[in-house]
C-alpha cells in the first residue's frame, strides 16, 4: 500500500530559480553592509557648531554629489523651512541595495545613511521612472517640505509636500509619505535577487529606524529626492528586474 505524503512533506518549489551570480551579489552586499549597521554616523569635514546660516557644499565629501546639490536648494528655500537643523537626501541614482538615503544634521555636521525603497513601477534595482500622477505607483522626485507625523496603516508616517509644480505638487494628494516597511532590509535584497522590496510610490525606510528619522525631520525640514540624468536613466532600463517579494 502506497504511503501518501502529507502537504507538509511536499517540498515547495521556488517561483523562480535565481542565478548563482545574483545570489552571491546579494549576499556580498548583505555581509558588507551588515558590518557597518551599528557604526556611528559619518562625520562631515567640518567642525561642530550651531546651524549654519549658509552651509557650504565644500564641507560635504566629494562622493556625496546629491547632498551637495541639496545644500544649494536648502540655501535658496530657507524661507519655506521651519526645521532648519536637518536636511534629507534620497539618491535614486544609486541601486536599491545600497544605503541611498542621507540624513544630514547641519548642527553636528554628521550624516546618517539608510536603505530606502522606491515605487514598484519606477523600476527594479534602479529607479528610472518618476511621476506626479495618482495611482501611478511611481516615486516622486525633486524638492519637498516635511509635514506632520501621524499614525497610519504603515505605523509612524510623515507627510510630504512637493514644492515643484508639475513635478511633485500632487505628492500629498497621492498619499506619498515617508513610512517604515518590513521589506526594507537586506533579507529582502536576497529574496528579490539583488534588489530591495518596493512600495506603491512612497520612500519607505526600515521599520527599525522610522521613529528616529521622523522624529528628527518632521515639521518643516527640506527633503530632496535626487535622480540620475535622463540619458543615465534610459541606459539602465534594460537591466531592470521585476521579480521578487510583494510590495506595499
| Residue 156 CA from chain centroid, whole number | 16
Residue 13 to residues 10, 16, 188, 189, Cα–Cα distance (Å):
9, 8, 19, 20
Residue scoring higher pLDDT (107 or 240): 107
Burial 129-142 (b: 16+ CB within 10 A, else e): bbbbeeebbbbbbb
Look at residue 229 in the predicted model and tell me its pLDDT: 84
pLDDT digits (tens, 9 = 90+) for 196-226: 999 999 999 999 999 999 999 999 999 999 9
d(CA 16, CA 99): 26
pLDDT digits (tens, 9 = 90+) for 24-82: 555 555 444 544 333 334 344 333 334 444 444 444 554 578 988 899 999 999 998 99
Contact present, 221 and 149 (Cβ < 8 Å): no
The pTM is what?
Answer: 0.74
Look at residue 177 in the predicted model and tell me its pLDDT: 98
Q: What is the mean pLDDT of the chain?
A: 79
Amino acid at each position: 500500500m502506497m504511503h501518501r505524503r502529507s502537504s507538509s512533506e511536499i517540498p515547495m518549489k521556488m517561483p523562480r530559480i535565481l542565478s548563482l551570480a545574483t545570489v552571491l551579489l546579494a549576499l556580498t552586499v548583505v555581509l558588507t553592509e551588515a558590518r557597518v549597521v551599528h557604526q556611528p554616523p559619518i562625520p562631515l569635514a567640518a567642525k561642530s557648531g550651531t546651524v549654519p546660516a549658509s552651509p557650504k557644499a565644500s564641507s560635504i565629501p566629494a562622493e556625496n554629489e546629491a547632498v551637495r546639490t541639496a545644500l544649494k536648494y536648502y540655501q535658496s528655500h530657507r524661507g519655506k523651512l521651519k526645521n532648519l537643523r536637518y536636511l534629507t537626501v534620497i539618491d535614486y541614482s544609486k541601486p536599491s541595495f545600497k544605503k541611498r538615503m542621507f540624513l544630514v544634521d547641519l548642527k553636528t555636521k554628521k550624516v546618517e545613511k539608510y536603505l530606502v525603497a522606491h515605487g514598484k513601477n519606477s523600476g527594479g534595482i534602479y529607479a528610472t521612472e518618476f511621476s506626479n500622477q495618482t495611482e501611478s505607483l511611481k516615486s516622486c522626485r525633486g524638492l519637498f517640505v516635511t509635514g506632520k507625523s501621524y499614525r497610519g496603516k504603515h505605523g509612524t508616517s510623515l507627510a510630504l509636500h512637493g514644492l515643484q509644480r508639475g513635478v511633485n505638487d500632487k505628492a500629498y494628494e497621492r498619499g506619498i509619505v515617508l513610512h517604515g516597511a518590513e521589506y526594507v532590509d537586506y533579507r529582502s535584497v536576497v529574496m528579490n535577487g539583488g534588489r530591495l522590496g518596493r512600495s506603491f510610490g512612497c520612500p519607505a525606510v526600515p521599520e527599525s529606524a522610522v521613529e528616529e528619522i521622523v522624529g528628527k525631520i518632521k515639521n518643516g525640514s527640506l527633503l530632496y529626492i535626487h535622480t540620475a540624468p535622463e540619458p543615465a536613466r534610459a541606459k539602465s532600463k534594460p537591466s531592470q528586474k521585476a521579480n521578487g517579494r510583494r510590495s506595499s
